[in-house]
Amino acid sequence: MEKNKIKNFENYAFGRWVKGDGDGTSLYNAINGEKIGVVSSDGLDFSKMMNYARGTGSEVLRKMTFQERGLMLKKLALHLHAKKKQFYPISYLSGATKIDSWIDIEGGIGNLFANASLRRQFPDLPYHVEGNAANLSKNGTFIGHHIMVPKHGVAVHINAFNFPIWGMLEKIAVNLMAGMPAIVKPATITSYLTQVMFKEIIDSKILPEGCIQLICGSARGILDNISSEDVVTFTGSASTGKKLKSHPKIVDEAVSFNMEADSLNCSVLAKDAVPGTVEFDLFVKEVQKEMTVKAGQKCTAIRRIIVPEELLEDVNKAICNRLLKTTIGDPQVDGVRMGSLAGLEQLKEVSEKINLLSNSQEIVFGNNEIDLIGAEKGKGAFISPTLFVNKNPFTNTDCHDVEAFGPVSTIMPYKTLDEAIELSRMGKGSLVSSIVTNDMNTANLFVLGAANMHGRILVLNESCAKESTGHGSPMPLLTHGGPGRAGGGEEMGGIRGIKHYLQRTAIQGHPTAITAITKQYQVGASQNTDGPHVFRKHFEEIEIGDTVITDLHTVTLDDIENFADLSGDKFYAHMDENSLEGTIFTERVAHGYFILSKAAGLFVDPSKGPVLLNYGIDECRFIKPVYPGMTIGVKFTAKEKISQEKKNEEDVAKGIVKFLVDVYDDENETVMLATILTMIKNK
């Protein structure tokens, strides 16, 4: 961003950049208070924006398969990763240090990568087929299943100010994977950073038109246009969240509303983690990190430090010693470890909350006179880390109610683990808590006692410390959210998060009809036995339901003996007919793995052809014992197809075909069912 140039950070609506009416809201550099630009959304037609998304964006995205959407996200992630350097200088304007900015920028891009990889867990279709079929009839002619289709509406993301990039990317990654367009509404105060990243996304032309739009200024009134197929996600304060959640349109139209609100997270030091242990040091380090990263403006920051009463003084001293080393100032100056709050409004608010908390607890660290590095006093939104001690946390309860969204935390003592659990629960619902312990019994008791009030719990000790992502990092593959005060929402969470934007529908009918809809062969559906063996067909020539009925084989005692010799598996039920009393077997039973191996011998068409390899078995059940003298055959049916992207130009074009291996006996009863995975060349 050019120095001293006031910029108008425009909105992006209906496929073009739109300047809001009027003077707009001024945006300021958090370090020196200088004006950096204005935003305005006045005059923007939210209703038109939403209809545009529901039309242009939704129609394109819904038709794409999960694989296509995933590859699109991957491409976008690679593009933004290549451009990442340009976002750092703008991030510094919000008071963020390099590490804070890394979390926001590269954490956000990492989220795109993580979600893109999830494409492999979805079918190669625009919609998802969830779980297995349910048999609803005696003769198997009527079954049920579940499909999940993209909602036809728009995802409206209303975000908090603290992670302007991560906040946007973690959310759009998920709705785009699901096939829904989004309107992104960053908090006004740091929207300049979101806007620059958003512009790069638009300029890359990787996303189809209509997939994302941006409102930089206020979005008051947007929910007046919401309808039942839309999804609203809100991240911010509980008070705003509650107001929006009870909006008449949200209630009347039963709109899905996900809320991530403020939360009084805690970390517990267990009694075994005494001074001198690695765990004690880990605890102190984690608390200090959580207080100062992003100047404490993290929804997951540790606000309550719960420690054994006999260790309170040790913990207090150790944390204060570390906080003393927290150098504060302009994030761009070497040696600065903590930047500023996002703006002067935040400074005022956090200072008020500190005053409120100091009515019921004692400040043990906190300095009005901070030494700033590279920044001028009185201009930026700088604040000292502030540590309280509350010796009576069961009676002085402000620490469980008041969130100071800055580098502020309270130490409190407990006598027993039950008390520690109770204190952790007094936050009335948190995004995250952690316990630092090397004692697995303590870990177990704490987690089971506290889990119903926390969205995530970290058990930290020396064994995982090196690779631990820490108390404060929500991970894309795990659910982020928390009960009660934390909003009761769930975000990300791997494929769980994506399902949030899909409508689950139960479907019922004959297996042939359910096969036609799910594009997965359902047991009992019609089979096609005409034409060449499936191993003679290329990937694109195979149709779901293509079946090979194999020759038959009569199992003998020699088969069992030979297989036992070859494999070394001489389990008594295969080898000793006198040992069968009290078992379900009436004779020496054939090895299940022999049946599977023999099935392969029957269904494989051996000469070289399009099949490249067999790379595993998804599920395998031995359903009925096979004894010598019984005859088996195989119905080998193409069950599901997943196309694969080429890794590079030289890579062979191919896909995965899942085959159902149904081994049946002379009574036409299934003795074994398995799904095998083969890799098959394209033409």
DSSP 8-state code for residue 434 = E
Looking at the DSSP bridge assignments, the partners of residue 509 are 143
Q: Of residues 406-445, which lie at the interface with ligand NAP (CB under 6 A)?
A: 431
Starting at the edge strand found earlier in the chain, the sheet holding 128-135 runs 128-135, 143-150, 502-509
The helix or strand, by DSSP H or E, that contains position 661, with its residue range, turns out to be strand 654-664
| Residue 243 beta carbon to ligand NAP: minimum distance, rounded to whole angstroms | 6
222 binds ligand NAP (CB under 6 A): yes
In 293-416, alpha helices (H): 312-324, 344-357
Check binding of 351 to ligand NAP (CB under 6 A): no
Q: How many CB atoms lie within 10 A of CB 87?
A: 22
Amino acid identity at 44? L
Residues 485-524 binding ligand NAP (CB under 6 A) are 486
Q: Is 260 a catalytic residue?
A: yes
What does DSSP assign to residue 57? Answer: I
Check binding of 479 to ligand NAP (CB under 6 A): no
* Binder among 3, 220, 325, 647 for ligand NAP (CB under 6 A): 220
For residue 320, the minimal CB distance to ligand NAP (Å) is 25
CA triple 262-264-269, angle to 5 deg: 150
Residues 521 and 506: their CA atoms lie apart, in Å, by 17
At 76, is the secondary structure helix, strand, or coil? Answer: helix
Query: Please, which residue, 260 or 286, has the CB nearer to ligand NAP?
Result: 260
In the complex, what is the shortest distance from the CB of residue 105 to ligand NAP, in angstroms, rounded to a whole number?
Answer: 16
- Out of 100, 279, 403, 559, point to the residue binding ligand NAP (CB under 6 A): 403
Rounded distance between C-alpha atoms, residue 322 and residue 406, angstroms = 17
Residue 300 CB, nearest approach to ligand NAP (Å): 7
261 binds ligand NAP (CB under 6 A): yes
Quote the CA–CA distance of 241 and 244 in Å, as a whole number: 5
Is residue 160 part of the contact set for ligand NAP (CB under 6 A)? yes
CB of 345 to ligand NAP, least distance (A): 9
Q: How far is the CB of 22 from ligand NAP (least distance, A)?
A: 15
3-state SS assignment for residue 654: strand
Q: Where are the alpha helices (DSSP H) in 312-416?
A: 312-324, 344-357
Distance CA(563)–CA(518), nearest Å, equals 38
- Those residues whose C-beta lies under 8 Å from the C-beta of residue 397, and which sit 6 or more positions away, are 360, 426
Tell me the closest approach of the beta carbon of residue 466 to ligand NAP, in angstroms: 27
Q: Which residue is nearest to ligand NAP (CB)?
A: 236
Which among 234-242, 380-388, 465-473, 515-523 is the span making contact with ligand NAP, rule CB under 6 A? 234-242
Q: Is 161 in the site for ligand NAP (CB under 6 A)?
A: yes
Residue 32 binding ligand NAP, by CB under 6 A: no
Q: Which of 225, 240, 277, 360 binds ligand NAP (CB under 6 A)?
A: 240
- Indicate the residue type of 667: E
Residue placing its CB nearer to ligand NAP in the complex, 205 or 220:
220
- Residue by residue, DSSP assigns 239-299 as HHHHHHHT-HHHHHTT-EEEEE-----EEEE-TT--TTSHHHHHHHHHHHHHHHGGGG--T
Span 297-316, contacts to ligand NAP by CB under 6 A: 299
Say how far apart CA 279 and CA 407 lie, in whole Å. Answer: 23
Q: Work out how close the CB of 327 gets to ligand NAP at its nearest, in angstroms, rounded to a whole number.
A: 25
Any contact of residue 205 with ligand NAP (CB under 6 A)?
Answer: no
Residue among 260, 290, 490, 491 flagged as catalytic:
260
Question: CB of 258: closest distance to ligand NAP in angstroms?
Answer: 10
The half-sphere exposure of 639 on its side-chain side, counting CA atoms within 13 A, is 20
Give the nearest distance from C-beta 185 to ligand NAP in angstroms: 6
| Part in contact with ligand NAP (CB under 6 A); list of ranges 213-221, 264-272, 459-467, 535-543 | 213-221
CA–CA gap between residue 564 and residue 308 (Å, rounded): 59
What is the nearest approach in angstroms of ligand NAP to the Cβ of residue 127? 29
Q: Which stretch binds ligand NAP (CB under 6 A): 195-203, 217-225, 272-280, 663-671?
A: 217-225
Rounded to whole angstroms, the Cα distance separating 414 from 410 reads: 13
The yes or no reply on residue 290 touching ligand NAP (CB under 6 A) is no
Site string for ligand NAP, 636-675 (x = CB under 6 A): ----------------------------------------
Q: Is 260 in the site for ligand NAP (CB under 6 A)?
A: yes
Q: Between residues 115 and 188, which has the closer beta carbon with respect to ligand NAP?
A: 188
- Tell which one of 219, 315, 336, 544 touches ligand NAP (CB under 6 A): 219
Minimum distance of ligand NAP from residue 123's CB (angstroms): 31
Tokens, residue 547: 């079946």
* Inter-residue contact 603 to 634 (CB < 8 Å): yes
Question: Among 219-227, 372-380, 407-415, 554-562, which window interacts with ligand NAP (CB under 6 A)?
Answer: 219-227
Query: For ligand NAP, which is the closer residue by CB, 219 or 534?
Result: 219
Burial 403-426 (b: 16+ CB within 10 A, else e): bbbbbbbbbbbbeebebbbbbbbb
Residue 258 as a binder of ligand NAP (CB under 6 A): the answer is no
Of residues 169, 192, 193, 162, the one with CA closest to residue 296: 162
Q: Would you say the C-alpha torsion 447, 450, 454, 458 has a positive or negative sign?
A: negative
Site string for ligand NAP, 175-204 (x = CB under 6 A): ----------x-xxx---------------
Cα dihedral sign for 425, 430, 436, 442?
positive
Phi, psi of 28 (to 5 degrees): -125, 150
Does 158 help bind ligand NAP (rule: CB under 6 A)?
yes
237 part of the interface to ligand NAP, by CB under 6 A: yes
The residues pairing with 636 across neighbouring beta strands, listed in sequence order, are 548, 661
C-beta of 69 vs 480, nearer to ligand NAP: 480
Structure tokens at 65: 């398969």
Q: Please say which residue, 153 or 633, places its beta carbon nearer to ligand NAP.
A: 153
Looking at the Cβ atoms of 372 and 453, the one nearer to ligand NAP is 453
CA dihedral (172, 174, 180, 181) in degrees, to 10, reads 0
Is 299 noted as a catalytic residue in this protein? Answer: yes
Residue 159 contacts ligand NAP per CB under 6 A: yes
Q: Active site residue: 211, 216, 299, 399, which one?
A: 299
User: Would you give the distance in Å from CA 560 to the centre of its chain?
Assistant: 48
- The footprint of ligand NAP on this chain (CB under 6 A) covers a number of residues equal to 27
Cα-based distances in Å from 638 to 468, 521, 675, 678? 42, 7, 10, 10
Provide the annotated active-site residues: 260, 299
Residues that bind ligand NAP (CB under 6 A): 158-162, 185, 187-189, 218-220, 222, 235-237, 240, 244, 260-263, 299, 403, 405, 431, 486
